[in-house]
Amino acid sequence: HFPVKAPEGAITRNDRTAVEQCNYWLQNKRHYTEHNPSVTITYKHDEVLDIIRWIWEHQDRIGGMAFLPAFDAQYDQMPYEEISREEYERLAAAFPEIDFSKIYRYEEVDLTTAAQELACLAGNCDI
């Protein structure tokens, strides 16, 4: 777990309806990205019809969205897990100190160039 604290006064998913979350995602997609930004919309049972209507109205702009029902249960690897202030402080105190000035020790060789794919189309490849 990586304990993360929202800034004071931050707007969180609990402060927005599912449709408001969708509209915020669409605003970011239209004005700040050239691709389909990743999103997980949390919704309550009584919001499903509103979500369906929103998707229908904006289907020409959607490349993919994830929807997760909002409920109190916890499961492994949830995108976000709400915890108490006390639990946050306990996890934050136990989290190891990371010296980012030493990160160079872990990547001495660029291993990303071998993973690049060549763009091939109709028998021709861009190299």
Q: Is residue 123 part of a domain?
A: no
Q: Is residue 62 part of a domain?
A: yes
Residue 42 CA to residue 55 CA, distance in Å, equals 14
When divided into structural domains, the chain yields a total of: 1
Position 49: which residue type?
Answer: L
Q: Is residue 48 part of a domain?
A: yes
Query: Residues 89-101, buried b or exposed e (16+ Cβ, 10 A)?
Result: eeeeeeeeeeeee
Q: Is residue 51 part of a domain?
A: yes
Domain of 102?
13-108
Q: Is residue 57 part of a domain?
A: yes
Q: Is residue 124 part of a domain?
A: no
Residue 74 is predicted with a pLDDT of 65
Tens of pLDDT, residue by residue, the chain (127 residues): 788 888 999 998 789 999 999 999 999 999 999 889 999 999 999 999 999 999 999 999 998 999 988 876 666 666 677 888 999 999 999 999 988 888 888 777 776 765 555 566 666 666 5
Two tokens at 90? Answer: 């306990």
Question: Which helix (H) or strand (E) is 67 found in, with range?
Answer: strand 66-69
Residue 118 is predicted with a pLDDT of 58
Q: Is residue 7 part of a domain?
A: no
Residue 21 CA to residue 44 CA, distance in Å, equals 12
Residue 102 is predicted with a pLDDT of 87
Q: Is residue 27 part of a domain?
A: yes
Residue 103 is predicted with a pLDDT of 82
Two tokens at 40? Answer: 């997980």
Residue 103 CA to residue 89 CA, distance in Å, equals 26
